[in-house]
Amino acid sequence: MSVKLGVPSKGRLMDKTFDWFGARGVTLSRAGSDREYAGAVEGIDGVELVLLSAGEIPRELAAGRIHLGVTGTDLIREKLLQWDQKVQELAKLGFGHADLIVAVPAAWVDVDTLDDLDAAAAAFRARHGHRLRIATKYHRLVRDYLRRGGVADYRLVDSQGATEGTVKNLTAEAIADITSTGETLRANHLKVLAEEPVLRSQATLFRSRTASLSEEDRAVLSRLIGKLGLQT
């Protein structure tokens, strides 16, 4: 057995994660070509690097197939019901910052708050005979947020592609999506509601609460957490 560490398999998240561990004396590297999803760990024995998509890591942590994993807070909270019973947050890594926000057409000059959105949704349903559509990949988080904000007459529609384009394409009237700079929203003539975001997300190191550990694995995990300067 070994302690399995799941890390995003490509792009800036992988590079920044490698840098974060490297700065703490644990060198991570991809083995072979970019198409191979295996890696190497130097600086501590007994740890195996598993390269996965950021979206797969919450499921693998919850299933106990990996012991540690780096992914976005947004993905953990969206994909895992009662997430805090399945994983433990060990450290925010300080990169991969993005906000999950609700945005409406910039032309809706009188819609700036959740109360405004609720009124607009009620008026939309009265006028069109069906509920205002909000396109998102984050159904659980957005539904909870809108419920807490008192927004009623809406329907979430699934978006797995370019969510910002759904309003222009007339498949939704508003969106809820992750943004870091807001440039894509502005390019699509959308504005963010003047509210606290649904969620402020960043890359975070999580520990699985369900993965089985031998005594040897526990010792390895303890050494790794200590080397990284963290506490459980």
pLDDT digits (tens, 9 = 90+) for 171-190: 999 999 999 888 889 999 99
Q: Higher model confidence: residue 147 or residue 164?
A: 147
First to last CA, the chain: 21
Structure confidence at residue 162 (pLDDT) = 83
Strand 174-179 relative to strand 98-105: parallel, antiparallel, unpaired?
antiparallel
> Distance (Å, rounded) from C-alpha 10 to C-alpha 30?
10
Average of per-residue pLDDT values in the chain: 93
pLDDT higher than 80, residue 232: no
Model pLDDT, residue 207: 97
Are 208 and 68 in contact by the 8 Å Cβ rule? The answer is: yes
**Could you tell me the domains of the chain?**
3-96+202-227 (3.40.190.10), 98-200 (3.40.190.10)
Average pLDDT in the 89-101 region? 96
Among 168, 113, 170, 109, residue whose Cα is nearest residue 146: 113
To which H or E segment does residue 63 belong?
Answer: helix 57-63
**Residue 231's pLDDT is what?**
75
Q: Are 174 and 60 in contact (CB under 8 A)?
A: no
Q: Are 62 and 86 in contact (CB under 8 A)?
A: yes
The yes-or-no verdict on residue 129 having pLDDT over 60 is yes
Q: Is the pLDDT of residue 140 over 60?
A: yes
Is residue 35 predicted with pLDDT exceeding 60?
A: no
Q: Is the pTM of this model over 0.85?
A: yes
Q: What are phi and psi of 204, to 5 degrees?
A: -140, 145
Q: How confident is the model at residue 146 (pLDDT cuts 50, 70, 90)?
A: very high
Asked if pLDDT for residue 42 goes beyond 60, the answer is: yes
